[in-house]
């Protein structure tokens, strides 16, 4: 199956989200990745559920909401109500990850769990069967435009092996520093979804050309 692309609107024009989201969906993004940051778990503040509801009418492309916030259990209902299709959380942000995953499912959204570079796969071993995506962070969360951490390729490979040996179905996402140079590496390591912010929005020929380039370089690596 060909690799999916989830452009991150962290690198979009904050004064023109609706236009940028429309352009991404016309260019056939598989998901729109929405990075929510609280200034506690990560040093930056971005946006909340109001932004998700404001851009929801613009597209039917699934919204993939990445919560980089403390105590996300207090906010997942608002994000689900605002139209989030997938909600990804970090295990470090909650005392009760299993409960939170089921809370997200009960709200009708698909749960994902993100692993910081220093966080091992073993920390989520007992919830792997309950989630729709593991998001491997290939940068430390908080900013766009950081350099890809190459050691994380081994984490992607281990996760893909673990999934096959357990007969599970969760998607493997990769977030941070994905561009035309690193896309082939993550595709070969076993990723299903590439999240990309700066590589999509800062491409000189626009978001459509950027996504084509990422898809092509990933496909060539797998051929
Ligand atoms: C980082 C965010 C990423 C970010 C990726 O904390 O989770 O989704 O937008 O940006 P790039 O692709 O520029 O590394
Ligand atoms: Zn993200």
Q: Is 35 a catalytic residue?
A: yes
Catalytic residue among 20, 30, 35, 38: 35
Mean pLDDT (whole number) for 66-73 = 98
**Residues 192 and 112 sit within 8 Å (Cβ to Cβ):** no
pLDDT of 148 > 80? The answer is: yes
Residue 222: per-residue pLDDT: 84
pLDDT reported for residue 6: 98
| Ligand 1 close to Cβ of residue 123 (< 6 A) | no
Rounded to two decimals, the pTM is 0.98
Mean predicted lDDT score pLDDT of the chain: 98
* Tokens encoding 213: 């380039």
- Listed residue (206, 204, 185, 203) closest to 194, CA to CA: 185
Look at residue 1 and tell me whether its pLDDT is greater than 80: no
Read off the pLDDT of each residue in 144-169 and give the average, rounded to a whole number.
98
Average pLDDT on 74-98 reads: 98
At 173-197, the pLDDT tens digits run 999 999 999 999 999 999 999 999 9
Res 45: pLDDT: 98
DSSP assignment string, the chain: -PPEEEEBGGGS-TT-HHHHHHHHHHTT-S-EEEEEEBSSSSS-B---HHHHHHHGGG--SPEEEEEE-SSGGGTHHHHHHTT-SEEEE-GGG-S-HHHHHHHHHHTT-EEEEEE-TT--GGGGGGGGGG-SEEEEESS-TT-SSPPP-TTHHHHHHHHHHHHHHHT---EEEEESS-STTTHHHHHHHT-SEEEESHHHHT-TT-HHHHHHHHHHHHHHHH-
Using only C-alpha atoms, what is the Rg of the chain?
A: 16
C-alpha 38 – ligand 1 centre gap (Å): 15
Instruction: Note the pLDDT of residue 157.
Output: 98
Residue 90 CB burial class (10 angstroms; 0-12, 13-18, ≥19): buried
C-alpha to C-alpha distance for 136 and 116, rounded to whole angstroms: 7
Point out the ligand 1 atom lying closest to the alpha carbon of residue 140: 6
Query: What spacing in Å lies between the alpha carbon of 136 and ligand 2's midpoint?
Result: 10
Going by pLDDT thresholds of 50, 70 and 90, the confidence category of residue 8 is very high
């Amino acid at each position: 199956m060909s690799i999916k692309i989830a452009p991150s609107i962290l690198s979009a024009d904050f004064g023109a989200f609706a236009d940028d989201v429309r352009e991404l969906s016309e260019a056939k993004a598989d998901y729109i990745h929405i990075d929510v940051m609280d200034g506690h778990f990560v040093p930056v503040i971005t946006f909340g559920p109001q932004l998700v509801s404001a851009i929801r009418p613009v597209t039917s492309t699934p919204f993939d909401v990445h919560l980089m916030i403390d105590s996300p259990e207090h906010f997942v209902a608002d994000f689900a109500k605002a139209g989030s299709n997938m909600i990804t959380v970090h295990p470090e942000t909650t005392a009760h990850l299993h409960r939170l995953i089921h809370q997200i499912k009960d709200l009708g959204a698909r749960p994902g769990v993100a692993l910081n570079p220093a966080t091992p796969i073993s920390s989520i071993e007992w919830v792997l069967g309950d989630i729709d995506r593991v998001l491997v962070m290939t940068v430390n969360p908080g900013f766009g435009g950081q350099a890809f951490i190459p050691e994380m390729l081994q984490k992607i490979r281990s996760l893909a092996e673990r999934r096959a040996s357990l007969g599970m179905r969760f998607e493997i996402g990769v977030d941070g520093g994905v561009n035309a140079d690193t896309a082939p590496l993550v595709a070969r390591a076993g990723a299903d979804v590439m999240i990309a912010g700066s590589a999509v929005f800062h491409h000189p020929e626009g978001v459509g050309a950027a996504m084509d380039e990422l898809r092509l370089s990933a496909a060539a690596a797998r051929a």
